[in-house]
């Protein structure tokens, strides 16, 4: 029964690929942990677009993944590579038939497939890495490509840490930080850069309240002179965040739309010859006014931090996408 089902599935896939406008196969190897049992699994599936440009995929195999504690990384990589080869052989598929492979898992899985396939990174991952460069939020200050923006974001982290660590200040501020509709006002995490964007939004929404809080304590608000800089950086990061969030929609194929949005990001938001649309974030509970929700600001009228972040961000995005897909793929 299993052999018959496998032959039928493979036959249907071959027919689909032969009729496809773009006859390309991709391998998807991933590892995950069951939220019910806690067991770790590894799975491999094949993905392609049919003649109607509809994304299709077949699960080829799934198995328990139970490496020994402190198992050598090289051993794990070799095991993943060998298992992928066995699965393809069982289905009568050749590695040479695949245009590349994708994986969102750890290094043992991603490295294991790189030995036989051209690894394709997801658009959100590439945007993530570009955003870390663009904002200077690398793990080490020495490797930061935007020291000025990094210093500003670190100031914001210190303000947030004050409230995360001090119950008294939370009470004085008169607000439960964890239950607001915008989510927890948490410290930015380098590896999850979208949290930095959310952090900026939360700060801007509470800007006036924070100023009043520090005034009542007879202290100077550490970010008082940086409102414009925060708005500019937040506007840039929001545009990049929108690309990543679009590409993470699971109910449709997003690669083409994602690359189109990367083009718009490069030629509009990050293009220094164009104006930057700076979004003005209204304070929580503020009265509705006739004030414009945004300002289209020429590049040379931005703050020094805004200008540098825009340029460094553009360089980081171009370096990761243009060299990988080629300029003809993004026009």
pLDDT tens digits, residue range 11-21? 777 787 778 77
Q: Which of 47-51, 82-86, 181-185 has the highest mean pLDDT?
A: 82-86
What's the average model confidence in pLDDT over 297-307? Answer: 97
Asked if pLDDT for residue 331 goes beyond 60, the answer is no
Gap between the Cα atoms of 249 and 195, Å rounded: 18
pLDDT band at 105 (very low <50, low <70, confident <90, very high): low
Architecture of domain 2-120: 2-Layer Sandwich (3.30)
Which has the closest alpha carbon to 67: 56, 54, 59, 78?
78
Please give the Cα distance from 74 to 97 (Å, whole number).
26
What pLDDT was estimated at residue 325?
53
| H or E element in which residue 48 lies | strand 40-49
Q: Which two tokens stand for residue 195?
A: 């949290």
DSSP string, 62-102: EEE--PPTT--HHHHHHHHHHHHHHHHHHTT--GGGEEEEE
Among 181-190, 227-236, 261-270, 283-292, the minimum mean pLDDT is found in 181-190
Paired tokens of 291: 């004030």
Sketch the domain layout of the chain as residue ranges.
2-120, 126-330
d(CA 280, CA 232): 9
Chain centroid, CA 22 distance in Å = 27
What phi and psi values does residue 98 have, to the nearest 5 degrees? Answer: -100, 140
Q: Does the pLDDT value for residue 166 go beyond 70?
A: no
Lowest pLDDT segment from 95-109, 149-163, 171-185, 278-292: 171-185
pLDDT of 144 above 60: yes
* Pairing verdict, β 55-64 and 40-49: antiparallel
pLDDT at res. 10: 74
Of 107-111, 144-148, 218-222, least confident by mean pLDDT is: 107-111
How far apart are the C-alpha atoms of 196 and 182, rounded to whole Å?
A: 13
What's the pLDDT score for residue 329? 40
Q: What pLDDT shows up at residue 165?
A: 65
Task: Give dist(CA 137, CA 299) in Å, integer.
Answer: 22
| Structure tokens belonging to residue 157 | 């982290």
Q: How far apart are CA 153 and CA 84, in angstroms?
A: 43
The Cα 227–Cα 306 span in angstroms is: 11
- Three-state secondary structure of 24-41: CEEEEEEEEECCCCCCEE
> Angle 73-90/107-114 helices, nearest 10 degrees?
50
Calculate the alpha carbon distances from 202 to 132, 144, 197, 231 in Å. 19, 24, 9, 12
C-alpha gyration radius of the chain: 24
Decide which of 49 and 83 is more confident: 83
Nearest 5°: CA angle at 227, between 226 and 228? 95
Burial class (CB in 10 A: 0-12, 13-18, 19+), 203: buried
């Amino acid at each position: 029964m299993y052999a018959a089902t496998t032959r039928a599935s493979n036959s249907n896939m071959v027919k689909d690929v032969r009729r496809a406008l773009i006859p390309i196969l991709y391998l998807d190897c991933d590892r995950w942990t069951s939220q019910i049992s806690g067991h770790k699994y590894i799975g491999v599936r094949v993905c392609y677009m049919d003649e109607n440009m509809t994304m299709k995929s077949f699960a080829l195999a799934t198995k328990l993944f139970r490496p020994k504690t402190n198992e050598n990384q090289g051993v794990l990589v070799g095991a993943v590579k060998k298992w992928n080869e066995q699965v393809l052989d069982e289905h009568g598929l050749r590695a040479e038939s695949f245009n590349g492979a994708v994986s969102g898992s750890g290094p043992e899985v991603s490295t294991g497939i790189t030995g036989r396939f051209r690894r394709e990174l997801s658009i959100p991952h590439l945007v993530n890495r570009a955003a870390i460069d663009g904002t200077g939020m690398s793990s080490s200050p020495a490797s930061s490509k935007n020291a000025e923006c990094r210093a500003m974001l670190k100031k914001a982290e210190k303000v947030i840490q004050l409230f995360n660590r001090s119950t008294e200040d939370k009470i004085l501020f008169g607000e439960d930080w964890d239950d607001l509709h915008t989510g927890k006002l948490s410290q930015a995490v380098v590896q999850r850069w979208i949290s930095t964007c959310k952090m900026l939004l939360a700060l801007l929404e509470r800007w006036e309240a924070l100023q009043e809080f520090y005034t009542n304590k007879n202290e100077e608000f550490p970010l008082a002179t940086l409102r414009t800089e925060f708005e500019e950086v937040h506007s840039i990061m929001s545009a990049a965040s929108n690309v990543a969030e679009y590409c993470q929609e699971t109910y449709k194929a997003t690669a083409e739309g994602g690359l189109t949005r990367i083009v718009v990001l490069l030629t509009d938001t990050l293009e220094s010859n164009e104006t930057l649309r700076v979004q003005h974030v209204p304070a929580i509970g503020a009265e509705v006014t006739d004030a414009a929700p945004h300002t289209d600001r020429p590049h040379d009228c931005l703050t020094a931090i805004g200008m540098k972040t825009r340029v460094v961000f553009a360089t980081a995005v171009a370096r990761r996408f243009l060299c990988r897909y080629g300029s003809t793929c993004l026009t």
